[in-house]
Structure 1
Amino acid sequence: MHDGCTFNHRYVKTNPHEVENATWMLTVFNCFGRQFCLHFEAFQLGMAPVYMAFLRFMGDDNEAKKFSYSLEVGANGRKLIWQGIPRSIRDSHRKVRDSQDGLVIQRNLALYFSGGDRQELKLRVTGRIWKEE
């Protein structure tokens, strides 16, 4: 197991059918003395509403490549895992989103992971950042 930082985030939205409101959240983490931003966003992919979580590094691309991260979401015995390299903050979040370089969760699956009556989005995203040797 690598040394690194772990984080845990909950996203709750009472009306998950209002994707058009471009729900997005941003959380900043300190890890290895550097800063990383976790983005969580709802948007339309073609006709389908999706959620996406990804990490950006507060620094340039060369330094961002020294790190790796994983994100995980799941429930009911199923999970989705994404592993990648954080994108530099110099890449706009729209550029990262449009390239789908992150954990993309279809709304049906997001609601399934939320449990209950499918009327509320309740996702727990866990993640880990480590340094590539």
Structure 2
Amino acid sequence: MPSEAVSRLGEFAVRVSSFPLRVERTTCGTESAAIELALESVRRLRSEGAASRIRSVEVRRVDDCRPVFSASYFDPEQGLSDAEAYAARVCGWHLPRDILNANYMASNARWRAGDGPWPQEWGPLPETCPSCGRRI
């Protein structure tokens, strides 16, 4: 095992996912430092409410896949109404493929990404996105 990998085994990684398609990763030497850093992002997430671009915050050991701490935009503590949560889920469902397809079109690729199956637990598939107005 490379010495760099061995030296990182006791570290903790903080992962902050933002909308659309942005992920920030930071590594901390101790669990308490990682959780404190994560809590700063969670405070920002909660204070911005439905307008927040942050979708999830997680802390994991570098050598383990299970989260030590996690918070989500869709947690009840966020205080979203059902309509706000639904709009965010719909936009988060279609926007990554919209961005990918725009990149494909710009490079004259011969393929496009489909939207994939609609998660039935979110309710009916809307004709247009309630957040951005895109026709689905």
Fold similarity call, TM over 0.5: no
TM-score bin (small chain): under 0.3
Greater RCO structure (CA 8 Å; 6+ sep): 1
Between Structure 1 and Structure 2, which shows a larger proportion of helix residues? 2
Between Structure 1 and Structure 2, which shows a larger proportion of strand residues? 1
Normalised by the length of structure 2, the TM-score is 0.28
Normalised by the length of structure 1, the TM-score is 0.28
